[in-house]
Chain A
Amino acid sequence: HYQTLSYLSVSITPVCADLQDERYAQGRGFIAKAVNSCHTASLTTPEDKEQTQQIHHEDLLNLILGVLRSWNDPLVHLASEVQRMKEAPETILWKAVEIEEQNKRLLEGMEKIVGRVQSGVVENDIYTPWDGLPSLQLDDEDSRLFAFYNLLHCLRRDSHKIDNYLKVLKCRLIHDNNC
């Protein structure tokens, strides 16, 4: 299961990278403004190797789950809004849809795993709502573009984060830290 998950998460990340680089990377202006504006920033996740290795695997799984849930909604809207963009090439449209689907699959897989791993029923309320939809629908093209860029940037980061967590979990639990 872990491997499937890691595969899925793995496939998200490069797509995100492509998505971001292709169209919306416009130099540092965007980067500067994009700082500190990911909606999942409020979720406390491990920030380095030590924290990742020290956190209990159940907690980490729950975290991953929370992040994935938080992204479900934005991805749906991303896919739909991207289709509305005039200049967007088809590849972006296709990739956006693909990302959304993969995220759903990831989410399902994760929920299964978590269900198995966790003993008993634990309420998992790790979730961040997303309120960026209006920004994707702005009239000003630059603002809209920036909103897209921001969203993609956050998506890329979070997908990489999840991918890393899953790999660490896989190596820890399956290969006994000997990948």
Chain B
Amino acid sequence: MKQRFISSVQIILQLALTTVGLTGQSYPGKPQIIRCRSLEKETFSCWWKPGSDGGLPNNYTLFYSKDSEEKIYECPDYLTSGPNSCYFNKNHTNPWTTYIITVTATNEIGSNSSDPQHVDVTSIVQPDAPVNLSLETNTSANMSYIWARWSPPPLADASFNSHVYHYELRLKPEEKEEWETVSVGMQTHYEVTSLQAGVKYIVQVRCMLDLGEWSEWSSERSIQIPKERLPPEKPTIIKCRSPEKETFTCWWKPASDGGLSTNHTLLYSKEGEEKVHECPDYKTAGPNSCYFDKKHTSFWTIYNITVRATNEMGSNVSDPHYVDVTYIVQPDPPVNITLELKKSIKRKPYLVLTWSPPPLADVRSGWLTLEYELRLKPEEGEEWETIFVGQQTQYKMFSLNPGKRYIVQIHCKPDHHGLWSEWSPEMYIEIPTDFRVKDMVVWIIVGVLSSLICLTMSWIMIMKGYRMMAFILPPVPGPKIKGIDTHLLETGKSEELLSALGCHGFPPTSDCEELLIEYLEVEDSEDQQLMPSHDTHCKNTKIILKETDSDSGRGSCDSPSLLPVKCRESHSLPSALQTQDVRAKEKKGGKGSWETQCTASEQKTLPCNSESKKSCTWLAAQLPSNQAAMFAYHSTVEAFRITLNTTNVNTSPVLVGNEENRQSLYPIAETAYDGMEKINEMEYSKTDQTTVQVRQNQQNDKSPFLNPKLMDYVEVHRVRQDEEPTLLLKHKENSGKTKKCTVPGTSKEYTKVSTVMDHHILVLLPDQRTQNTPVSQEPVAETSENPQQSQAEKNTSYSTTAPSDSTRDTSGSDYMDPSSFMPSFK
């Protein structure tokens, strides 16, 4: 009945609320019972959560009923357990009853009830967590314990303390995640073992009644387990070393110190002694070391060395280390490494590496003897080349490539027992590039190019050999006399030659002058007298004299350079005629040879040049030795031709110069002072010329230079085949030369044949056309004599030409003055 009533009321309320909901306010939401709990099975509480309040203040009421009854009770205590709770005290709690609890929320509009909650007290029992948890740690015999204590949860009613709880404890290291849970039982303390030293642990406990649930875990408690305290572990001695065989140092390595500060002591004893000493110096060599100075170092004695580590918990001793200092010497690396580049005899550079022993090592007294070793590698190389050097402190390196960079290092060790030092710092070597290498390349290139050039040249030569030859060595033009065929001359067919000559109007006329060849003109006005009946067309037979100068060994005399100087210097020269002794041989036919000796008048040459004196004398000396048939004159490029002009018509044209001489050049200048004359034999074929005119043609423009050259030359001409060869001498006076020098272009020198001696010696007279009166005087004087002489002998030879004063100026034929040498002949 009541239930129906309640439900009907609820429906009405809901209806009211829904109607009112439209106005913004409604009846409250449905509350909800959260939980009910009993702490000790004798009381319990329920808590609910209110629903929406509908905008109006709500009032909550809890109603409950027991399952065996229908009576509805209201909550006896809303306050004890806090808001929205209901506390059922001992009187209202019946553990064997199921409660049906409902909470109703009411406001002005309506009310709302929660769903009924069936609560069985026995099933909702859960005590509070234990309290007052305390922890203690204890370490004994290298074991640590945690001692935990706590108190049961407090209850409002002290009478409840008779309850017995079961407890549970859990702990874990602080950094870890997993708990270790231990069931403690009913006691409120517990001892934890198997703990790690030095770890911080967190502990919690909880409890439970005989029925119900476990309580929550208590708040955490943590505790730190202290680290283990141990005596130190055994240290080890690493090594002992002596850098100079006078002191030594030992190093050790400490082991774990047990968590406590540890002290190390080094103890040693020497062989043969009982006493144990302690390390004299712990500091000099750094931490964990012991330094033995000189006083404490003995050799050839075994040391027994140990290290002891000590801490609060105890001490520990290392294994003994036996050491004889003589065997542990390890020096420092060598110092003062220097390089010096030297050149050996063969100009190949080599390197001398020098170094000094380390400063501490006493090598000087012989106490310590070191051996050295060096290693070498190219900078980019991988492998070192190790070279044992021995006890010397220098090393010569020959096998290094120029231009490369090398790295070198040196180390040393005692000569017997001992250890190698560290390698010295890297030293870089750079060899200067040997220029020879470049030389080789250059020479190779040069060789290749030159060979190419040679090949090209030879190819060209082969292809155009003849032309080249002609270009380089132009042929000496042969005598070109119109109407004269040299071949005919050679072959000796005089008839043909004469005819040839005749055709051309031999003797050649002035057309001969067209020939661009210098020739010597000898003119004789008395040719007609001398010459036989042969007529010549051309008064001037131009005979080209070719003078060859075989090697007479002339020296400075022959140098053209002298002559100009001589010419310039001389102002006046004595007009002494140069008598020349010319020796001539017949080259062809050899009927006779004119011999003339040229003697240069020293007087003439003196003013000009003192040198000429010497040269001339020298040449004079050489003259006798010169048996050359031909007169040879050194000449420059020009060939002087002596043309014989035969005044006598009858005279056959004078022969052309000797074939042999064709190629020769006459250094007239050189022979000027020498008087070295060679007679070119000229063959006259079928010529009846008795007189020969020799005309000298000089190129004026070259006269200053040439005139001295045009000194003397003699040509032997054969007027006739059967006659003795005529001798044409071209003789120039020094004065003439000088004159020519001074007055270029005007001088012409001729030699006049004064006499013919021995049927083959032509005596010539110097020309009197020289401007110097004194010069001319003599020749005049001489010539005055000579004509007579010549005339006297005219008949004997056709080749003589008498000087004629009258024609001197015009013809300018000069003849040698035999006066100077007449006696010699006679």
Contacts and interface: CB of A to CB of B under 8 A. Distances in A.
6 contacts: A36-B302, A48-B294, A48-B298, A168-B366, A172-B366, A178-B364
A85 interface: no
Interface in A40-94: 41, 45, 47-50, 52-53
A119 interface: no
B416 interface: yes
Given A17-B416, A167-B366, A169-B366, 8 more contacts: A14-B416, A35-B304, A47-B298, A48-B294, A164-B367, A168-B366, A177-B366, A179-B366
B322 A28 contact: yes
A41 B272 contact: yes
A168 B367 CA distance: 6
Contacts of B416: 10, 13-14, 17, 160, 163
A31 interface: yes
Contacts of B461: none
Contacts of B555: none
A32 B322 contact: yes
A35 B300 contact: no
A172 B365 contact: yes
A120 B489 CA distance: 119
A104 interface: no
Contacts of A8: none
Contacts of A49: 245-246, 294, 362, 365, 367
B299 A47 contact: yes
B302 A31 contact: yes
Nearest to A13: B416
Interface of B: 245-246, 271-272, 294, 297-302, 304, 320, 322, 324, 326, 362-367, 369, 415-417
- Shortest 6 CB-CB contacts between residues of A and residues of B: A171-B366, A167-B366, A168-B366, A47-B298, A35-B271, A13-B416
Contacts of B369: 167, 179
Nearest to A37: B271
B414 to A, nearest CB: 10
Nearest to B391: A179
Contacts of A10: 415-416
Nearest to B298: A47
A161 B302 CA distance: 14
A163 B299 CA distance: 13
Contacts of A34: 302
A179 B365 contact: yes
B169 to A, nearest CB: 56
Nearest to B416: A13
A39 interface: no
A144 interface: no
Contacts of A32: 320, 322
Interface string A137-179: 0000000000000000000011011011001111110010111
Given A13-B416, A32-B320, A48-B294, A179 B300 contact: no
A36 B302 CA distance: 8
Given A157-B324, A160-B326, A168 B365 contact: yes
Contacts of B245: 49
A6 B340 CA distance: 33
A54 to B, nearest CB: 12
A53 B365 contact: yes
Contacts of A35: 271-272, 302, 304, 322
